[in-house]
Structure 1
């Protein structure tokens, strides 16, 4: 075995040369870029830490989840959603679409393969991707772990003292487990709103913490999705004018949310989304429950006590459990080494639409803060860029003697 396939201390490791790109992550982003590459005749290898594709959707989402945007804005390249799917597919329908997508393009990730480190070999100019079993090497590395790889757990004073259960929404499935319980939901994004609504429908008593300002928009306006209206208007009007229109309609249909303790940011919803990635809440029924008092809106938490919480406005209440609807974060800094392409938060430093390409064969997909529409754009761009290089070096064989996995020989 060549020295390029040895540990620094000289002990040999299982080394596998991958002729196409290595893709880290088998969520929608990883599947999309693998499909785009395959359509252009370029093989790839997907490494996935869990035992299934789209693990966020399959293992870490609540039962009542539906796509927030119409299906035409959420489909991946080269394969549409089935025509009989509703406008807003359910969680199970989306998972079935992802599974059909993988089958259609014969995408077979290697599951339960946790990437521990990935780093450029600056001498040989290829990427070394180390897992618990192997070291994979390739000219190209595609980071497809996305913005939502790991649960984000904020520091909340006293939370370790709370005697009841504390869970993140990634562990929440249904409000049926919380019947008649007083539940503190920390967070007022789409997840916080929907979990609170689900708790209401199962006769729980949710108290939702709203620490910052938030834009709430109706999911539909005039019978059309709010998102599709915004997309069309942006073709003809300046962004800030579109924001003003959206807020005008939102105030007319939803009323003044400030009176409910839901202060709107000074920056418009689309402008804020583009600048910070903060997504406006698309109301699917939670607002009416807030108006009726079934969902209690609370100010920020001052501290958690043994039996409940103290709030910024001086109130103190008891709760049976706490649900953290605090979102997710990228995990790229924990395993990708030797590059400054990403920020400390694990997001590309280069903003959309140019954040998909780094240097020395490094690419990223699914970090646009623009959902699956951004993922599709990234995937198409990456495949187009790599195929030109692939054609130039097709037939190239590394001088490193590789240890090939017998069951995977055909795809390298």
Structure 2
């Protein structure tokens, strides 16, 4: 027998975006379900590489309603973020259904949505927020000969520790924070080239003695609604206190312009020279992961959500959260998703009236 659950709101995804959405939904006394595919509501953080530290201090890395614990000026480690999200989820006031991957979302008109999970359970609600992020849709650029390459090819999302690459010839592709951080870490263990289409752009981590996020905040840049005019998300400059610029200057890693093709044994550089390579790591970003909305008209054929500042123009009651540059430069970050969640929940209007019920 199919299990059916009726809620005022269903949030798909239990990471930072989904938790921020649930915070504001439950504050409005809406009976809210979070459907999370993994075993706990910590998003993609447990799958990031082991040495990852935030690029923003703890004071600027919190979700709404709960400060990040400890020294507010430190840069938290990945595992600290995981612990923070666990604690946040425990008090968010929503029903969190873990190991509940969503298969399809069906729009039922005036009654709202039917969300069907992998087990066949159906969750109905007049409001659905898609907050599944992008980690499960890594982007790999099309490079001639890629299928012929006999070495190891992986995305940054699969990278964990540098030890497994010792004595291997590695190329890291990308020019953003993750690409430079991974390449510099690997360069302490093996031969690494950082390949990118444009030179790496650096931003001082602490201009005038204050972290750059302080200046982003006091200037209003971090919360500026620029998403409406940004068509393609730009590569973020690398925040650096000097370590990465020094490493690149020393050739650890060596930086080269992006190669033009793969061979079976390596790559071909723009000048025609060839280089044998064991591993290529693409730190080339992600795309929205919304397969459960395919065929609804809420996303394009390529899976890009049709949305304006998170609101669906095609389906009343459907919203998106955690998209890169959704509303602001910080939309898909810990420090910015809370603003977007507040904006979205205030404006998300279902097609039909719904009744308020106490949070269970």
- Scaled to the shorter chain, the TM-score interval is 0.7 to 0.9
Change (3 A) 1:374 1:381: same
Q: 1:147·1:347 contact (CA, 8 Å) conserved in 2? A: no
Write 1 or 2 for the structure with the bigger share of helix: 1
Match of 2:342 among 366, 380, 383: 380
Matched residue SS, 2:55: coil
Matched residue SS, 2:192: strand
Partner of 1:35: 23
Partner of 1:101: 88
Please give the TM-score of this superposition, normalised by the length of structure 1: 0.76
Partner of 1:144: 131
Q: 2:316·2:349 contact (CA, 8 Å) conserved in 1? A: no
CA distance in 1: counterparts of 2:161 and 2:93, whole angstroms = 34
CA distance in 1: counterparts of 2:193 and 2:357, whole angstroms = 62
- After TM superposition, the structure 1 = structure 2 runs for residues 311-350 of structure 1, keeping only pairs within 5 Å, are 311-332=269-290, 334-337=291-294, 339-344=296-301, 346-350=303-307
Q: 1:130·1:136 contact (CA, 8 Å) conserved in 2? A: yes
Instruction: Identify unmatched segments of 5+ residues in structure 2.
Output: none
Partner of 2:310: 355
Partner of 2:238: 281
CA distance in 1: counterparts of 2:132 and 2:3, whole angstroms = 23
Match of 1:365 among 309, 321, 333: 321
Please state how far the C-alpha of 1:197 moved relative to its aligned partner.
Answer: 0.9
After superposition, the CA RMSD in angstroms is 3.0
Change (3 A) 1:69 1:44: same
Partner of 1:292: 250
CA distance in 1: counterparts of 2:218 and 2:2, whole angstroms = 52
> Aligned pairs, how many?
348
Please give the TM-score of this superposition, normalised by the length of structure 2: 0.86
Please state how far the C-alpha of 1:360 moved relative to its aligned partner.
Answer: 1.8
Change (3 A) 1:387 1:234: closer
CA distance in 2: counterparts of 1:207 and 1:96, whole angstroms = 34
Q: Which whole-Å deviations, capped at 9, do the CAs of 1:165-192 have from their partners, x for residues lacking one? A: 2221111111111122211112221111
Q: Which whole-Å deviations, capped at 9, do the CAs of 1:37-93 have from their partners, x for residues lacking one? A: 22332221111122222341102x111111112222221011111134652111111
Change (3 A) 1:231 1:215: farther
Partner of 1:195: 182
